[in-house]
Amino acid sequence: MIEERKIIQSLITFLEGEKMGGVLEIFSPSLKKEFSVLFSSLALKTLSQSVYRCQRCALAQSRRQCVFGEGAPNALILFVGEAPGEEEDKQGKPFVGSAGILLTRAIEAIGLKREEVYITNVLKCRPPHNRNPLPQEIANCFPYLEEQIRIIQPRIICALGKFAAHALLSTSSSISQLRGKIYSYQGIKLLPTFHPAYLLRNPQGKIPFWEDMKRLKRELQKLL
Ligand code: URA
């Protein structure tokens, strides 16, 4: 494992150097894209290994496993949720429980497959009994999300629920006020909307949520 990490790290350093030196510019667009995907998947793999070993807070003691995130390493759209729930903690994958079924439907409704987007959370470990994330846990975990965004370079981030929207926009406005409008996170478009788990408990949020998904689809179409 240590050897594998060393190889990945040297490949990343090499590719980063090539990227910075403009060497990738001499390749055809399709080869450039392949290099870029390779670079991102290696960088995500290396980052995930730090996350899996993370002991920054007490959630390291209660988690079954970390849930790093999954999807296309160069996805145009990044979905950010709150924290893994019970099923996610069991399977090690984000949004695989009942909220995940709704999120998957929303992704398909905008014309994409789950594996064509990237899905992660603000917290990479499940809080006991699915309690809300604590401010210190968010502060400890946020650098991992920042690094995922730096690697994936999505064109649109969809913040699912108030914890993702608050962490990424450094605001404390309510999600009802924030949702449905486009903001900027370090130059990347960011659309906050209701969390799918909230919709399961509050069906009145479904109409605005689907309006937000239509908005997301329009933003996506501008990029294609
Ligand atoms: N809720 C979240 O915020 N994230 C998950 O991965 C699952 C449920």
Query: Model confidence over 37-91: pLDDT tens digits?
Result: 988 999 999 999 999 999 999 999 999 999 999 999 999 999 999 999 999 999 9
Q: Give every CB contact of residue 178 below 8 A, 6+ residues apart in sequence.
A: 162, 165, 169, 171, 192
Find out whether the beta carbon of 212 lies less than 6 Å from any atom of ligand 1: no
CA distance 73 to 98: 25
Nearest to 145 by CA among 68, 92, 75, 70: 68
User: In ligand 1, which atom is closest to the CA atom of 161?
Assistant: 3
pLDDT in tens, 42-53: 999 999 999 999
pLDDT band of residue 4 (cuts 50, 70, 90) is: low
Pocket mutation for ligand 1, best pick of 86, 89, 121, 158 (most atoms within 8 Å of C-beta): 121
Q: Determine the pLDDT at residue 29.
A: 78
Q: What is the pLDDT of residues 117-172, one digit of tens each?
A: 999 999 999 999 999 999 999 999 999 999 999 999 999 999 999 999 999 999 99
What are the sequence ranges of the domains in the chain? 1-53, 66-223
Residue 2 has pLDDT above 60, yes or no: no
In CATH, the architecture of 66-223 is 3-Layer(aba) Sandwich (3.40)
CA of 35 to the centre of ligand 1 (A): 31
- For residue 83 and ligand 1, the question of a CB distance below 6 A is answered with yes
Q: If you measure from the C-alpha of residue 163 to the centroid of ligand 1, how many angstroms do you get, rounded to a whole number?
A: 11
127 lines ligand 1 (CB under 6 A): no
Of 194, 174, 177, 180, which is closest to residue 82 (Cα–Cα)? 194
Phi then psi dihedrals of residue 160, to 5 deg? -95, 100
181-224: per-residue pLDDT in tens? 999 999 999 999 999 999 999 999 999 999 999 999 999 999 99
For residue 122, give the ligand 1 atom closest to its CA. 3
Assess whether the C-beta atom of 95 lies below 6 angstroms from ligand 1.
yes
For 7-38, what is each residue's pLDDT tens digit?
777 777 777 777 667 666 666 777 778 888 98
- Pocket flag, ligand 1, residue 81 (CB < 6 Å): yes
Cα-to-centroid distance, 73 and ligand 1 (Å): 19
Which amino acid, residue 72? Answer: A
